[in-house]
């Protein structure tokens, strides 16, 4: 269409300063069709039965979560910073995935602790099956880089390993691609 924002927002809203990338405009039908048809294609063409949505904290908020320290208060998640358009896209994607392949597993990488991330769409949630517990690899890389083994605080380790919303399922691992660049 001659603009630099056919599938993204125009102006500063369409630019992610931390990643130097554009940001999809989830209100545009063409964007939704493109993204959802990709999900469907991977399931039908290659038999994918699992999807990991990387960096969705950046999608969930207009601020992209940059410079935020989420404490668990609902006003932090559902206030004016919430990007409702991306919320709807994530709900549609999860609903499509589970509709096409009921045994599929979806994992959302969110570091903000967004409530309802792993609740079914029909309950008003985002529909992810698991949250990727990013605090765990972050903690382990810090332990390995900054202290000796005998200085590890087992209470802190246990808290980090078990800190999640009640009944929320998580996927966790001790090392992540994010730590490879630290």
Q: Per-residue pLDDT averaged across 164-179, rounded? A: 80
Average pLDDT over every residue of 114-129: 96
Active site residue 44: no
Per-residue pLDDT, 179: 62
Q: Is the pLDDT of residue 105 over 60?
A: yes
Q: Looking at the predicted structure, is the pLDDT value of residue 182 above 60? A: no
Query: Of 30, 54, 153, 175, which residue is the catalytic one?
Result: 54
Query: Choosing from 25, 76, 109, 129, which is the catalytic residue?
Result: 109
pTM for this prediction: 0.88
Q: Does 119 have pLDDT greater than 60?
A: yes
pLDDT at 118: 96
178: Cβ–Cβ under 8 A, 6 or more apart, which residues? 134, 137, 138
Average pLDDT over residues 113-140: 92
Query: Is the confidence at residue 15, as pLDDT, over 80?
Result: yes
Measured from the Cβ of residue 57, the count of other Cβ atoms closer than 10 Å reads 20
Q: How confident is the model over 17-47, as pLDDT tens digits?
A: 888 888 999 999 999 999 999 999 999 999 9
76 is annotated as an active-site residue: no
Average pLDDT, rounded, for the chain:
90
């Amino acid at each position: 269409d001659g603009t630099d924002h056919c599938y993204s927002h125009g102006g500063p809203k369409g630019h992610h300063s931390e990643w130097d990338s554009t940001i999809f405009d989830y209100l545009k039908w063409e964007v939704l069709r493109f993204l959802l048809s990709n999900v469907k294609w991977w399931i039908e063409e290659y038999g994918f039965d699992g999807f990991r949505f990387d960096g969705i904290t950046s999608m969930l908020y207009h601020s992209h979560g940059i410079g935020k320290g989420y404490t668990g208060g609902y006003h932090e998640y559902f206030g004016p910073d919430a990007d409702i358009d991306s919320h709807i896209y994530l709900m549609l994607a999860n609903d499509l995935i589970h509709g096409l392949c009921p045994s599929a597993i979806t994992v959302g990488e969110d570091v903000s602790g967004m409530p309802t991330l792993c609740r079914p769409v029909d309950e008003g949630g985002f529909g992810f099956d698991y949250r990727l517990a990013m605090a765990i690899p972050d903690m382990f890389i810090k332990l390995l880089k900054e202290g000796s083994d005998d200085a590890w605080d087992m209470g802190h380790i246990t808290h980090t390993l078990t800190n999640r919303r009640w009944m929320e399922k998580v996927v966790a691992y001790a090392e992540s691609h994010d730590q490879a660049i630290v």
